[in-house]
Amino acid sequence: MTLNERQQQNEALRSEFLRRSGVDVSKCYQCGKCSAGCPVGDHMDIPTNKIMRLVQMGLIDEAMQSSAIWLCASCVTCTTRCPKGVDVAHVMETLRQMAKDHNCVAEKNIDKFHTVWMNILHKMGRMYEPGLIVGRNMVTGNIFQDTSFGVPYLAHRKLKLMPYKSNNIDEIKRMIEKAEAMDREEGGAR
């Protein structure tokens, strides 16, 4: 398939990406500063600047199917470093949301981890690390993964064994619900 044909095939995805992200990727001039500063760049299948290039060329499907967008830790270093003011981290986030909505998640375990994380945040208004590890291990089927990590923290009372709720749980719930409603609005207008 020629590049032109692939771009035509991606036209609807390109429009959806533009509407959902609001980011003008045409400003990117491939300096590579986003990739150079990325703390997880060494583990990505496609470097951040190349993801930007794929989006710029309208090849949204290829960017959406990468594992790189799931390794992104949303640290926003790339956005801060970009000399052209491109919100690279928001591009990565939009691609993740689109990959979920189009059922083409490359890193399913990371997506499951995120779901467990959000469930705990909903219920507790804060993170409960022992529950996060157990929950992640149950949904991914790796029952004993990382279980020994928490032991020294528990021994030094850096982690609490029993869960406890945030004092501001209602406020946090309202904040999450508002963000989820905004997400639904973006996705629903596809």
Q: Single out the residue of 77, 87, 96, 116 in contact with ligand SF4 (rule: CB under 6 A).
A: 77
Nearest of 127, 109, 107, 125 to residue 117 by alpha carbon: 127
Counting residues that bind ligand SF4 (by CB under 6 A) gives 29
Applying CB under 6 A, which of residues 46, 59, 78, 121 lies at the interface with ligand SF4? 78
Among 46, 64, 88, 105, binds ligand SF4 (CB under 6 A): 88
Segment interacting with ligand SF4, rule: CB under 6 A, options 66-74, 103-111, 112-120, 149-157: 66-74
- Selected range binding ligand SF4 among 88-96, 103-111, 137-145, 150-158, rule: CB under 6 A: 88-96
Residue 115 found at the interface with ligand SF4 (CB under 6 A): no
Residue 184 CB-density burial (10 A; 0-12 exposed, 13-18 middle, 19+ buried): exposed
According to CB under 6 A, which one of 92, 99, 105, 121 is a site residue for ligand SF4?
Answer: 92
Nearer to ligand SF4 by C-beta: 86 or 128? 86
- Closest to ligand SF4 by CB, 3 vs 40, is 40
3-state SS string for the chain: CCHHHHHHHCHHHHHHHHHHHCCCHHHCCCCCHHHHHCCCHHHCCCCHHHHHHHHHCCCHHHHHCCCHHHHCCCCCHHHHHCCCCCCHHHHHHHHHHHHHHCCCCCCHHHHHHHHHHHHHHHHHCCCCHHHHHHHHHHHHCCCCCCCCCHHHHHHCCCCCCCCCCCCCHHHHHHHHHHHHHHHHHHHHCC
In 10 A of CB 40, how many CB atoms? 12
* Closest distance to ligand SF4 from the beta carbon of 52 (Å): 5
Binding mask 12-51 for ligand SF4 (x = CB under 6 A): ----------------xxxxxxx--xxxx-------xx--
Between residues 76 and 124, which has the closer beta carbon with respect to ligand SF4? Answer: 76
Q: Which residues bind ligand SF4 (CB under 6 A)?
A: 28-34, 37-40, 48-49, 52, 72-78, 81-84, 86, 88-89, 92
